[in-house]
Structure 1
Amino acid sequence: MSTMNLALAYSPAFLGLRFLLEVCALVCFGLWGWRRVPGRLRYLAVIAIPVAVAFAWGDFATAGDAARSGETTFDTPGPLRLLLELAVFGGAWAALRHSGMRRAAHWFLAVLVLYHLAAYDRVLWLLQH
C-alpha cells in the first residue's frame, strides 16, 4: 500500500466529504444564477453556470491525483489545479453571499477551511506536482 493511500485526504470519509463539497459548490452557482439573473434567462443560468464550472473542474486536473480517477483531459500542474479548486470553492462561497445567504456562506467557508486544513497532505501533494 502506498503512502498516498494512507493519507487522510484520500480516506473514503474525506473523499465523500470532498464530493459533497463539490456538489454543494455547483448548487451554489446554480442558486446564484437563479437569484441574480433576471427573467427567463434564469432558467438557462441555473443549468449553464454549474455545467460550465463542472466541465472546468473535471477537465483540468493533475495526472495521478488519487482524489480523482488519476486521469485528466488537460494535464494541469498541481499548484494551478489547487488554484482552480480554491477559485471554484471561493466562487461558490461568493455566490452564496451575493445571493443573500450570508449565514450559509459563513458555514460553507468554515467547512471548506477545516476540510483543507485537515487535507493538508493532498494540498502538499498538489503543490509538489
Structure 2
Amino acid sequence: MSAILGWAVLALVFVDELLAVAAFGIWGWDHDPRRLLVWVLPIVAMAVWFCFASPKAPYGGPLVRPLAKVLVFGLACLALWDAGQQDWAIALLVFSVVVNGLAQLPSIRVLVDER
C-alpha cells in the first residue's frame, strides 16, 4: 500500500476521533439545560484518549489501548443514538470500524511506528 494512502487512512482516523468528541458534545447539548456537559463530556473523552488510547498514551498498552478505543467510540455512538441521531450513530460506528481496521494493516502501522 502506498505511503500516501496510508497517511490518508491515518488522517481519517484523526477525523474519526474528532467526530467522537463532537458526538459527546451533541449528547451534552441535548441533555443538559445548563449546557455544561457540552464542554465537560468532550474534555473527558479527550483526556481518556490522551491517557489510554493515543499512540503515545502514558497508560496505554496492548490491552488498554484497544479497550479505551472501543469504549470511547462505542459511547460516542450511543450518545448520538440517545440524542435522536440514529442514522449518524450507525454511520459513525461503521466509519470507526472501517478506518480503525484499515489503520491496523501492517503497511499503515509502520507509518505510525516510524514516527
Q: Which residue of 1 aligns with 2:6?
A: 11
CA RMSD of aligned residues (A): 2.4
Shift of 1:7: 9.0
User: Contact 1:32–1:95 at 8 Å: present in 2 too?
Assistant: yes
Any unmatched runs of 5+ in structure 1? 1-5, 63-67
Q: Which residue of 2 aligns with 1:81?
A: 65
Which of 25, 28, 31 pairs up with 2:23?
Answer: 28
Q: Which residue of 2 aligns with 1:93?
A: 77
User: Contact 2:53–2:68 at 8 Å: present in 1 too?
Assistant: no
**Number of matched residues?**
106
Q: Relative to structure 1, is the Cα distance of residues 61 and 23 closer, same or farther in structure 2, using a 3 angstrom cutoff?
A: closer
Which of 47, 56, 68 pairs up with 2:48?
Answer: 56
Q: Which residue of 2 aligns with 1:109?
A: 93
Identity over aligned residues, as a percent? 30
Shift of 1:55: 0.9
Shift of 1:111: 1.0
Higher alpha-carbon deviation: 22-31 or 105-114: 105-114
TM-score, with normalisation over the residues of structure 2? 0.79
4+ aligned runs moved over 6 Å, structure 1:
none
TM-score, with normalisation over the residues of structure 1? 0.71
User: Contact 1:7–1:121 at 8 Å: present in 2 too?
Assistant: no
Letter in 1 for 2:27: W
Letter in 1 for 2:23: C
Give the Cα separation in 1 of the matches to 2:2 and 2:50. Answer: 22
Give the Cα separation in 2 of the matches to 1:58 and 1:107. Answer: 24
Any unmatched runs of 5+ in structure 2? 110-115
1:40-87: CA deviation from partner (whole Å, max 9, x where unpaired): 2x2x1100110011011112247xxxxx3xx33x33222211010011
- Higher RCO, 1 vs 2 (CA within 8 Å, ≥6 residues apart): 2
